[in-house]
Amino acid sequence: MVFLDFFYTLRQAGLKVTLQEWRMLLECLERGLHDSRLEGFYHIARACLVKSESDFDTFDLVFAKYFEGLEGAIEIPPELLEWLAEPKPFEALSEEMRAALEHLDIDELMRRFAETMAEQTERHDGGSRWVGTGGRSPFGHGGEHPTGIRVGGAGRGRMAMKVLEDREFADYRTDVALDVRNVKLALRRLRQLTRTDGPEELDVDGTIDRTCREAGEIELVFRPKRKNDVRLLLLMDVGGTMDPYYEPVSRLLTALHEERGLRDFKAYYFHNCVYERVFETGRLMRKESILTADLLRTYGERWKLLVVGDAAMHPSELESARGNIDPRRETETSGLAWLDRLQRHFDRSVWVNPDRPAEWAMSSTCRTISSLFPMYPLTVAGLEDAVKALVGARAATVRPVIAPGASALG
């Protein structure tokens, strides 16, 4: 009866759960696919009953009404966010202390977080257990832990395995004028002129040749006009560690929007890594999104792919199943698998990184991504090289360093 009420409550909440999907869930339970665990039941039920990721939040709220202690439906109490508002300064850990910190997998991390939230009754700073600031606990912000959840506060160490906050960021601007001219100059080679069917123009050389062969009888020869055949798909990392690069990325996006010569141009957003969806705006909780699989079907291999991002994240975000930093958008396919699919799908693809090349080697995820995509700095010279790799006869050589004092399109 509990499960039957759960079915009707989901329907009342607006989820279009069908009897066929419900029977599929019951069959999964009969086969023991939930491992006799509430967490297992949650994932099986969500996989069977929810058709769209936009309905995940509604499903989680309904589920939380029936089952207590669910890791996937965690709500942050306002008092906890208030305690975390003013962080305690963090004292750096020694190598011995850092090595002693426990590494948790995603399931254990979420389970302990739910338990800690249920027990915590006051603010905590420092320490290694409670949700707080400036400590060695895996929960909170302003501290250090190799497998933690950031709650409140800004991301600084690029170490969080999960982040519990709304993933909504500002769109990059498309009307920036300052220094856009330099970016346009860097993009001027983004052209491949070809003759296609359509309006014709007079072929002067062909007309002269034909007229000569006809003993002076003028024979006009026409040919299709040469047009730019480059179709460019732009994927942009937004929010978090990309916030300092808001202006240079906006200059790049503005220049591409004003590049009238492109045959076609489309831009999408992602956060940290590409997963099963990319988004039409920086407000990633909205519904303006497209499945990455559909993106690959829509944009053929002749499109050029330009990815902009710092490639810096927790290694699990890139390499692990359910690695998405937003626990509401987890899937079994890793971010690395999606990046590999993108790289294999497009004939030409490059990655433009706003961090200095000297910093790339310090990030394991950046090193991994640069082994998939040719990586270039977000500078005028770096963009010139990236464009050569996209439309040149062969990929250009990555510039190993930026001149001292150079910054991302600054």
Q: Is the pLDDT of residue 307 over 50?
A: yes
C-alpha closest to that of 307 among 260, 272, 283, 357 = 272
pLDDT at residue number 341: 94
Compute the average pLDDT of residues 289-307. Answer: 91
What average pLDDT does range 2-17 have in this prediction? 80
Q: Where are the domains of the chain?
A: 2-73, 78-163, 180-190+229-391, 196-227
**Mean of the pLDDT values across residues 95-119?**
66
Q: What is the pLDDT of residues 267-281, one digit of tens each?
A: 999 999 999 989 988
pLDDT surpassing 70 at residue 162 = no
What does the pLDDT read at residue 305?
95
Q: What is the pLDDT of residues 59-83, one digit of tens each?
A: 888 887 666 544 444 556 666 666 5
Query: Which pLDDT score, from 0 to 100, does residue 401 have?
Result: 34
Share of the chain above pLDDT 90, in %: 17
pLDDT of residue 193: 39
Q: Domain 180-190+229-391: give its CATH architecture.
A: 3-Layer(aba) Sandwich (3.40)
Structure tokens given for 333: 């396919």
Per residue, the 3-state secondary structure of the chain, as one string, reads CHHHHHHHHHHHCCCCCCHHHHHHHHHHHHCCCCCCCHHHHHHHHHHHHCCCHHHHHHHHHHHHHHCCCCHHHCCCCHHHHHHCCCCCCCCCCCHHHHHHCCCCCHHHHHHHHHHHHHHCCCCCECCCCCCEECCCCCEEECCCCCCEEECCCCCCCCCEEEECCCCECCCCCCCCCCCHHHHHHHHCCCCCEEEEEEEEEECHHHHHHHHHHCCCCCCCCEEEEEEECCEEEEEEECCHHHHHHHHHHHHHHHHHHCCCCCCEEEEEEEECECCCEEECCCECCCCCEEEHHHHHHHCCCCCEEEEECCCCCCHHHHHCCCCCCCHHHCCCCCHHHHHHHHHHHCCEEEEEECCCHHHHCCCHHHHHHHCCCCEEECCHHHHHHHHHHHHCCCCCCCCCCCCCCCCCCC
The pLDDT value given to residue 395? 45
Most confidently modeled range among 54-63, 80-89, 261-270 = 261-270
> Mean per-residue pLDDT for 340-347?
94
Read off the pLDDT of each residue in 12-27 and give the average, rounded to a whole number: 85
**pTM of the predicted model over 0.85:** no
With 90 as the cut, is the pLDDT of residue 375 above it?
A: yes
Residue 308 has pLDDT above 90, yes or no: yes
Among the ranges given (10-19, 107-116, 195-204, 387-396), the one the predictor scored with the smallest mean pLDDT: 195-204
Residue with tokens 């005028």: 380
How would residue 7 be classed by pLDDT, with cut points 50, 70 and 90? confident
Average pLDDT, the chain: 75
pLDDT digits (tens, 9 = 90+) for 247-258: 889 988 888 888
